[in-house]
Structure 1
Amino acid sequence: MTGAHHSATRAQGPAARALRGALLVPLVATFLVPAQSASAAQPASAAQPATVVQPEAETAPIESAVDQIVVDVPAVEASGDLSAEGTTPEPSPTTGDDVAAEVVADETTADGLLETPVVETDEFALLGVTWPDGDDVTALAPEVRVRTDGEWSEWIAVEPADDGPDAGTADAASSVRGGSEPVWVPGADAVQARFAATETGGPEDLRVELVQPGEGTSEASVTTSSGAGDAVVTTAGYRTGAATTAAASGALLAASSSAPQPSIVSRAGWGADESLRTYNAGCGTPEYSSGLVGAVVHHTANDNSSYGSPEQARALLRSIYAYHVRSRGWCDIGYNFVVDRWGYIYEGRAGGIDRPVKGVHAGGFNTGTVGVSMLGEFTSVGPSNEQRDAVARVIAWRLGAYGAAPQGRMQYHTLGGENSRFPAGTTVDLPVVFGHRDTAFTACPGNMGYAALDGIRARAQSLTSYTALIQALYTDLLGRGADPSGLQTWGEQLARGVSQSQLVATLTWSDEYIDRRVVQAYQTVLGRAPEPGGADHWRRVVRAGVVALDDVPRYLMASPEMYAKGGGTDRGFVNVMYEQVLGRPAGAPEQAYWADQIPRAGREVVLTGIWVSYESARRRAAVYYRTFLGRDPDPSGLETWTMILMGQGESAVRTGIAGSQEYLDRARSRF
């Protein structure tokens, strides 16, 4: 006899009775969560190191250089004459050996502006204007022009920067200079500045900062990194129920994200000089929030056409880093991540590639947020598709580690800041992913960059496994996509610690799922829809605990209607059971054996014996693999799940497999 006969004859005692709750027609597999290999169904492991792009050969840092031109802007009297006082610039002691020139803006133009003489310099690539912290140079309206390849640029307005450190951080203690946004001018070898005439003139120690990013190239390959330095954990300045609570002391471990992790160019990959992290007093050790609740999108405000290759993008990044540290006095580059127009994601501030390090990107809103800056200027031109997608991917990955939904909103308790729209102590309602202009007096990230935020939020949301998992489970269990309410509700529950298996158990106890299972059982077994009131009847008896939902197909199979499909004979009935349950006709000995059992034990017992057979369970397990995992089963996995199906029933298979890492990974790829 065949395997079905032998397995059934071994399962006639107490074991068979225990297995009856697991009976289900295999062709009804479209409303079950699939089985998979034992190894694939293990719980998700602890957080893994972040994948980053490291240099393949050259690992030495690329040293940058900063030269400072100290500029005196004299006061202009009401008569239009320059004040005789203050026309001899004196550099601050903090300038050290970086002073390249000391000039006076004492040349009056026809427009009434004050110009400096032209300053010939070594080649530089980025410039900015800085001044002592607390001074205001807005009335001076500084402008610069540079010479490149013998040609002078147009005059460029230099706007005060719109970022700054949070109060109480090492960056705030170290920061000694106010400053403008940096301007990218690669290949320049001369500079001139001009200012509006005012009755007060410029502050002492006003400087034009010239940055040379250094030269160096490296081929990149993928490796891993888990951040840098020991952590200093501080309480984040926000109020939310979704934040991860950090330990009171010691290193803050990386959180496992619910979104796929993108490749990232490491600091070594773009040539960061790590010695700069201790350039300013009190710096060198990363400071961490207790979690992440939001993301701030910026742009660097550099001309999009001014960098023409990834290597130039990395040189620009090194220049911004040097300007932030050596010219502004910060502990590190301000942004957590930077994204160029080709979609390369660069690790910004050290120690924060997979941990919530505090940046200097949105004063008063740095704590508990990740700052992602698009390399370029997006006032009239939008970021590239690759740039937008990369921004969404890194945001989804970082926020996914802390249960923050990219399309959600939050209540943020701000620490205030010099350029903040909100005073310290204000609780601000914000999108979880917001633009810098939402919290600061700035145009950042530009009109077109700001317009791209809705798409970035939607893309990031789709990348989080909460959304992907919910969509996959709704599709596989309910046969439809998740509605917005379901996405929000279950996303919040998953963020609070509800497991995948618990979500499966709840969904499969819903009226919608029960009704769908009953309808599919009728269609698969009897080839028709339920009679009027049939679905309601089965829902009531299932909810009352009289019949297990997985047993409904068995009751239908044992019905007179099914017996009639076999021609009204015992042998015909046995053959119909074999065709539907095992996908093959019954052999003559099998027909004779089971037909002989029917008059003595009844059709239901015979049906039970066929359904609980090893052959039946193995076939159903294979269907689960193909339907839900999109692949054929591996031998060991098929054997494992066959035995689980026989020993523990369908509910154990559903909750176990839907809680597996393989199911989660496939959900991410599907949605």
Structure 2
Amino acid sequence: MARDYVSRRGFIIGGLAVVATTGALVTTGNAWAGEPEIIDCDGWGARPNSDIVPIWNQRPVKILVHHTATPNQADVSREAADRLARGIQNFHMDNRGWLDTGQHFTISRGGYVLEGRHRSLEVLERGERQVEGAHCTGQNVVAIGIENEGTYTAVGPPTVLWNRLRDMCAYICNQYDIEPTEIFGHRDFKDTACPGDVLYGMLPQLRSEVAGVLGQHLTTRVAMKESWPLLRVADQGPAVAAAQHLLRDAGMTDVQPSGSFDRTTSDAVRQFQTVHRTEEVNGMIGGESWPLLVRAVAPGEDGEAARAARVLVEAQADPVGPGAVSLVGAEDWRRLLSTPTSLVR
């Protein structure tokens, strides 16, 4: 795949002409009345990117929803939104050593939508290419990343933030011909709690609302989407027991398949993550570790992986006999793990 680059000053080198931005507040397109207004990088006082920003000659195929894991502050002013954007950029550049803000867009608790990484807005307006991000390893050239200010582990986002997130996702889907079903959470691809349990649980609603804005309709089943469960200390259920069997299959034999995610299990996960050099070594099993843990299971097979599969099959509402278990790949495992009975929290 070919790609162009954005210079340190922000001009595109290669195949894209420069689009001038004239003010702090940029209104994108006119597809529908609820279209979001987006504050560009100049508008919130961004620093220059420290190196060229790659732009890929391809359209993104999905959207990743994040939360900033910052306090759910009461200040919902424009000034607070600008400070948030500057703080994120400073952290990403100074602490993580990145060339710019990692995500493409940020939404404040006051409902202000801000461009994150330079030229993300300009390229989105054209709807043909993608600015390479740094919001999720493995997804940065195929997914648009949106950070939502706050921590949404125990509470949901403010209505105004939610509405802007819906409108922004609809605009991105419209520009790039992305299906609303292709809206994911950060944890779908990494071992992280992001975007928080509550906001992650609202993603089926987000997909449905985005579809509605685009004049589409999603059934509940389609909007739910199969996903890897996030497992942490104190979780219980068949999904935990299956993970414990799979850890034993991977050589972590100190783990006992009790169905309760204890400290021994967490330590084993950390060891597994270290061996496989995952991005996070945090003892949680999410969208990065699951695909590394699971493997194909043949009918009639015995052993730890087969026992993991049987635990999940037997937890189904209409279980089948153990001899019928046959899992070809990760998609089969994810389908089993997506069932409501697989995890108790």
In which range does the TM-score fall when normalised by the shorter chain?
A: 0.5 to 0.7
CA distances 1:412-464 after superposition (whole Å, capped 9, x unpaired)? xxxxxxxxxxxxxxxxxxxx000001110000000111122122212211222
| Contact 1:335–1:361 under 8 Å retained in 2 | yes
Q: Distance in 2 between matches of 1:335 and 1:252?
A: 23
State the SS of the aligned residue for 2:184. Answer: strand
More relative contact order in 1 or in 2 (CA 8 Å, sep 6+)?
1
Q: Distance in 2 between matches of 1:289 and 1:311?
A: 35
Q: Which residue of 1 aligns with 2:186?
A: 436
Partner of 1:302: 70
Q: 1:354, 1:398 within 8 Å by CA — same for their partners in 2?
A: no
Distance in 1 (CA, whole Å) between partners of 2:177 and 2:84 is 33
Task: Assess, with a 3 A threshold, how the Cα gap between structure 1 residues 169 and 312 changes in structure 2: closer, same or farther.
Answer: same
Q: Which residue of 2 aligns with 1:345?
A: 113
* Shift of residue 288, structure 1, vs aligned partner: 2.9
* Contact kept? 2:11, 2:18, Cα under 8 Å: no
Q: Is the alpha carbon distance of 1:436 and 1:383 closer, same or farther for their aligned partners in structure 2, counting shifts above 3 Å? A: same
Equivalent residue in structure 2 for 1:402, among 176, 182, 197: 176
Instruction: Please list, as runs of the form range in 1=range in 2, the aligned pairs for 1:52-71 lying within 5 A after superposition.
Output: none
The change in CA–CA distance for 1:451 and 1:354 in structure 2 (over 3 A counts) is: farther
- In 2: Cα distance, 1:324 partner to 1:348 partner: 11
Structure 1 window deviating more from structure 2 (447-456 vs 436-445): it is 447-456
**Distance across 1 between alignment mates of 2:142 and 2:102:** 14
Distance 1:307 1:369 in 2: 30
In structure 2, C-alpha distance between the alignment counterparts of 1:361 and 1:455, rounded to whole Å: 23
- Which residue is equivalent to 1:386? 160
Whole-Å separation in 1 of the counterparts to 2:53 and 2:149: 26
- CA gap of 1:286–1:378, structure 2 versus 1, over 3 A, is same
Structure 2 match to 1:230? 12
Cα pair distance change 1:483/1:460, threshold 3 Å: closer
Residue 259 of structure 1: CA displacement?
A: 6.0
The letter of the residue matching 2:192 is T
Distance 1:326 1:386 in 2: 31
* SS of equivalent residue, structure 2 residue 147: strand
How far apart, CA to CA, are the structure 2 residues paired with 1:289 and 1:433? Answer: 21
**Match in the other structure for 1:596:** none
Query: Which consecutive segments of 4 or more residues in structure 1 shift more than 2 A?
Result: 252-261, 284-289, 305-310
Matched residue, 2:212: 462
Taking the aligned partners of 2:211 and 2:201, their CA distance within structure 1 comes to 17
Q: Which residue of 2 aligns with 1:376?
A: 150
Q: 1:251 aligns with which of 4, 7, 16?
A: 16
CA distance in 2, matches of 1:457, 1:259: 18
Please tell me whether residue 266 in structure 1 is matched to residue 266 in structure 2.
no
Larger radius of gyration: 1
Looking at structure 1, the residues matched to 218 and 39 of structure 2 have their Cα atoms a distance apart, in angstroms, of: 37
The answer to whether the 8 A contact 1:289-1:367 is kept is no
Corresponding position of 1:640: none
Question: How much does 1:264 deviate?
Answer: 0.7
> Is 1:323 the counterpart of 2:91 in the alignment?
yes
Q: Is contact 1:291–1:368 with CA below 8 Å preserved after alignment?
A: yes
Cα-Cα RMSD: 3.2
SS in 2 for 1:317: helix
SS of alignment partner, residue 269 of structure 1: helix
Distance 1:483 1:458 in 2: 6
Please give the per-residue CA displacement for 1:540-573, whole angstroms capped at 9, x wherever unaligned: xxxxxxxxxxxxxxxxxxxxxxxxxxxxxxxxxx
**Offset of 1:309 from its aligned partner?**
3.1
- Tell me the alpha carbon deviations over residues 465-501 of structure 1, each in whole angstroms, 9 at most, x when there is no partner: xx26xxxxxxxxxxxxx896xxxxxxxxxxxxxxxxx
Cα contact 1:257–1:399 (8 A) shared by 2: no
Question: Does residue 287 of the first structure (1) align with residue 55 of the second (2)?
Answer: yes
Shift of 1:304: 0.5
Contact kept, 8 Å, 1:392 with 1:459, in 2: the verdict is: yes
- Whether 2:140 is the aligned partner of 1:366: answer yes
| Aligned AA (2:174) | G
Q: Distance in 1 between matches of 2:133 and 2:11?
A: 15
Number of equivalenced pairs: 201
SS at match of 1:331: coil
User: TM-score, normalised on structure 1?
Assistant: 0.28
Deviation of the 1:295 alpha carbon: 0.2
8 Å contact from structure 1 (residues 435, 444) kept in 2? yes
Given the superposition, is the C-alpha separation of residues 252 and 361 from structure 1 closer, same or farther in structure 2, using an over 3 Å criterion?
farther
Structure 1 residue 263: Cα displacement: 0.6
Q: Give the drift of 1:305.
A: 2.2
CA 443–268 in structure 1, closer or farther in 2 if over 3 Å, else same: same
Q: Deviations over 1:32-66 (max 9, x none)?
A: xxxxxxxxxxxxxxxxxxxxxxxxxxxxxxxxxxx
The unaligned stretches of length 5 or more in structure 1 are 1-167, 171-226, 232-248, 409-431, 469-481, 485-671
Check if 1:448 corresponds to 2:198: yes
Decide whether aligned partners of structure 1 residues 285 and 435 sit closer, same or farther in structure 2, where only a CA change above 3 A counts. closer
Quick one: distance in 2 between partners of 1:456 and 1:483? 11
| 2:101–2:117 Cα contact (<8 Å) kept | yes
Q: Structure 1: which amino acid aligns with 2:58?
A: S
Gaps of 5+ in 2: 20-27, 124-129, 220-345
Give the conservation status (yes or no) of the 8 Å contact 1:296–1:434.
Answer: yes
Find the aligned partners of 2:37 and 2:90 in 1 and give their Cα distance: 24
Question: In structure 2, do the counterparts of structure 1 residues 448 and 463 end up closer, same or farther at CA, with 3 Å as the change threshold?
Answer: same
Map 1:6-25; keep pairs closer than 5 Å: none
For 2:218 and 2:164, how far apart are their aligned partners in 1? 26
Once the two structures are superposed, the pairs formed by residues 551-562 of structure 1 within 5 Å of their partners are none
Structure 2 Cα separation of the partners of residues 289 and 388 of structure 1: 31
1:278-310 per-position Cα deviation (integer Å, ceiling 9, x unaligned): 2xxxx1344235102110000000010274533
